[in-house]
Amino acid sequence: MNPSVETTLRAHRDRGRKLLVPYVTGGLGDNWALVLPALAAAGADAIEIGIPFSDPVMDGPTIQEASAAALAGGATPLSIFDDITGLDVGSAPLIVMTYYNIAFHMGEHRFAASLAGAGISGAILPDLPLEESVSWEREAAAAGVETILLAAPVTPDDRLAQIAARSRGFVYAVGLMGVTGERAGVAVSASTMGKRLKAVTDKPVLIGFGVSTPAQAVDACAEADGVIVGSALVRRLLDGAGPEGAARFIGELRRALDRG
């Protein structure tokens, strides 16, 4: 049984720790999977692995570039599952983030089973909104995979409550109106999102999109339980940071969050 995202994150949060979830693009370079244990050792509470998709409409230039590079290098969902199967990342649960066509094409049932078999605990499908995700959530739950749903700044209150209620693992608060990528500062909408979600759910609430620096991570945690950091880390990996450089960056974020 893979570690539960929600149980793990709740336990960390309940002892006063701010949550840190880095994102890496799966298949980015031959030894990409070595980054995962390094991130866990540097203080990641869970790790997101992106399965690259040819048409990533929610992603900005950095993740687009990484996705294209991984695909050009021959990455496939199966190669990524192979690369992480049996990998020791300590207690940090693994979460997959990809676009729905990857799951749909493989078949929801088979995709969910493949995730579980590769040691993956959760899944995020950003182009699968509430209305379209019922059958996927059922297949995922049956395989023991937690489906993490996204809430956006424009989501109305009643819908926000539904998303929070149906999300498993944590609630992914999209911190700004826009695609993934580094920004100069944390959007005001991020703290509003944190506040609105905390008012309707006891589940961990994490802010993603536009959180790139230790200071921004601390800012974003003013209302929320933690942050997801993607593009800033992937940018470093594209620039050749490797596992050590990635761990150094996540370590800085960890220490900033621990200081508060």
Partner 1 sequence: MALSLMDQPSDDGRFGDFGGRYVPESLMPACHELDVAFRSAWADPAFRAELDTLLTEYAGRPSPLTDAPNLSERLGVRVLLKRDELNHTGSHKINNVLGQALLTRHMGKRRVIAETGAGQHGVATATAAAVFGLECVVYMGEVDVERQALNVFRMNLLGAEVRPVSSGSRTLKDAINEAMRDWVASVEMTHYCLGSVMGPHPYPWMVREFQRVIGDEALAQCRVKIGGVPDFVVACVGGGSNAAGIFAGFADTDSRLIGVQPDGGAAIGRGTPGVVHGSKSMLLQDEFGQVIEAHSVSAGLDYPGVGPEHAHLAEIGRAEYTMVSDAEVLEAFQVLSRSEGIIPALEPAHAVAWVMREAGRSIPSGSTVLINLCGRGDKDAAQVMEMLKR
Alpha helices in 73-179 (DSSP H): 77-84, 100-106, 108-117, 134-142, 157-166
23 near partner 1 (CB under 8 A): no
Q: What minimum distance in Å lies between the beta carbon of 153 and partner 1?
A: 7
53 near partner 1 (CB under 8 A): yes
- Tokens read off for 212: 């790139």
CB 130 within 8 A of CB 148: no
14 near partner 1 (CB under 8 A): no
Of 43 and 77, the one with the shorter C-beta distance to partner 1 is 77
Query: Is 83 marked active-site?
Result: no
91 near partner 1 (CB under 8 A): no
Closest to 49 (Cα-Cα) out of 64, 33, 62, 38? 33
Catalytically annotated residue among 6, 45, 48, 146: 48
How far apart are the C-alpha atoms of 175 and 70, rounded to whole Å? 26
Catalytically annotated residue among 45, 59, 108, 146: 59
Burial class of residue 172 in the structure, from the number of CB atoms within 10 Å of its CB (0-12 exposed, 13-18 middle, 19+ buried): buried
- Tokens read off for 19: 């949550």
User: By rule CB under 8 A, what string of x and - marks binding of each residue 106-145 to partner 1?
Assistant: x-------------------xxxxxxx-------------
Query: Is 59 marked active-site?
Result: yes
Q: What is the 3-state secondary structure (H, E, C) of 68-100?
A: HHHHHCCCCHHHHHHHHCCCCCCCCCEEEECCH
What stretch of H or E contains 186? Answer: none
Q: How many residues bind partner 1 (CB under 8 A)?
A: 40
Of 82 and 258, the one with the shorter C-beta distance to partner 1 is 82
152 near partner 1 (CB under 8 A): yes
**Residue ranges that bind partner 1, judged by CB under 8 A:** 53-58, 60, 64, 68, 71, 76-78, 100-102, 104-106, 126-132, 149-156, 159, 163, 174, 177-179
Q: Which residues are catalytic?
A: 48, 59
